[in-house]
Homo-oligomer: A and B are copies of this chain.
Amino acid sequence: MIKMPEKERAVGMYKKMYQIRQYEETIYYLFLEGIMPGTIHQSHGQEACAVGMIYDLRKEDYILTTHRPAGHDLAKGVSLRSMMCEMFGKAEGCCKGKGGAMHTGDIDVGAVTANAIVGGNLPIAAGVALRCKMMKTDNVAVCFFGDGASNEGAFHEALNAAAVWKLPVVYVCENNLYSATTSIKLTCNLENVAADRGSAYGIPSEVVDGNDVLAVNEAGARAIGRARRGEGPTILELKTYRIGGHSRNDACGYRPNEEEKAWFSKDPVRTFRERLIDERVITEEELEKIEKEITDEIDAEVEYAKNSKDPEPESALRDVYWEGGTR
């Protein structure tokens, strides 16, 4: 078990995880109520992956995420308001309502527009990392993807080039055992779908308990350090589990009950909370207060978003080509 960091840091991580959890659960209920448009792919259950990996990144570092972006985006610092507004398709959304749930992000804080083409972000991450290297920065790119994505051709092409060019990128597979409804065992012969492929590129890899934020953070630090020092890419495979379905209307009928039970007993937010209290980093009362603040803020942003302005229909015609602006 990894040593608990000092209080501010430990609680900081918990806060982010709790925010993601609360955000996703709130969104879930908004969908159930039928007042949120579109579809969702939620990240609760996988909070430790996002927070552990991203907690120590610089603003100038980049993350690249997927159809399941909320945890990563919140951890990287995309504003809660702009995320919630985007979920509601509002003009103040981080994509002005043009992106939607699968495309959140904010390049100004290093969160590249999320990508809903499975595997699509992996070669893009290579390009982002190439830029970091060419411009002689020591910034890095952290690219998240799922177990299913590792079977895509894009994975192969991206990882090979990242290795050959020694790019400052960390490829992070969140292996939650399923791609949509399909068990990864049906589509890959390997125990570790990403990590066991490192040798095919000459990339070092690690398998990590993806529900332990400190374990993720520590492995992340090693990988990010290598990247910053110009030692090239790393593959991290984080073992984790979705709490919810793949997308809306998915009751997870394809997941065995015992499997769910076993994984839910390792809930990353709850177990870290228990440790914080057990190891007397913080009291339960303090935590409850923090949690309430987070919940209140999310609720407030829901209200804000609901009441904020819809985009003008005609604004759909803009931004097809770049019109100048923040960058």
> A-side interface residues toward B, CB under 8 Å?
151-157, 160-161, 163-164, 186-190, 196-197, 199-202
Contacts and interface: CB of A to CB of B under 8 A. Distances in A.
Given A199-B200, A200-B200, 20 more contacts: A151-B156, A151-B157, A151-B160, A152-B153, A152-B156, A153-B153, A153-B155, A155-B156, A160-B187, A161-B187, A163-B189, A164-B187, A164-B188, A164-B189, A189-B201, A189-B202, A190-B201, A190-B202, A196-B199, A197-B200
Nearest to A159: B156
* Copies of this chain: 2
A199 B202 CA distance: 12
Nearest to A190: B202
Instruction: Please classify the interface of chain A as helix (H, G, I), strand (E, B), loop, or mixed, using the class held by over half of its residues.
Output: helix
A291 B110 CA distance: 67
29 contacts: A151-B156, A151-B157, A151-B160, A152-B153, A152-B156, A152-B157, A153-B153, A153-B155, A153-B156, A153-B157, A155-B156, A156-B156, A156-B157, A160-B187, A160-B188, A160-B189, A161-B187, A163-B189, A164-B187, A164-B188, A189-B202, A190-B200, A190-B202, A196-B199, A196-B200, A197-B200, A199-B199, A199-B200, A200-B200
Contacts of A188: 160, 164
Contacts of A151: 156-157, 160
Contacts of A164: 186-189
A178 to B, nearest CB: 15
A154 B156 CA distance: 9
A16 to B, nearest CB: 34
A153 B161 CA distance: 12
Contacts of A152: 153, 156-157
Contacts of A199: 196, 199-200
Choose among A154, A188, A190, A200 the residue with the greatest number of B CB atoms under 10 Å from its CB: A200
Choose among A153, A154, A155, A163 the residue with the greatest number of B CB atoms under 10 Å from its CB: A153
Contacts of A186: 164
Contacts of A196: 199-200
A161 B164 CA distance: 25
Contacts of A157: 151-153, 156
A147 to B, nearest CB: 12
A163 B163 CA distance: 24
Contact of A153 (B154, B187, B189, B202): B154
Contacts of A154: 153
A157 B156 CA distance: 9
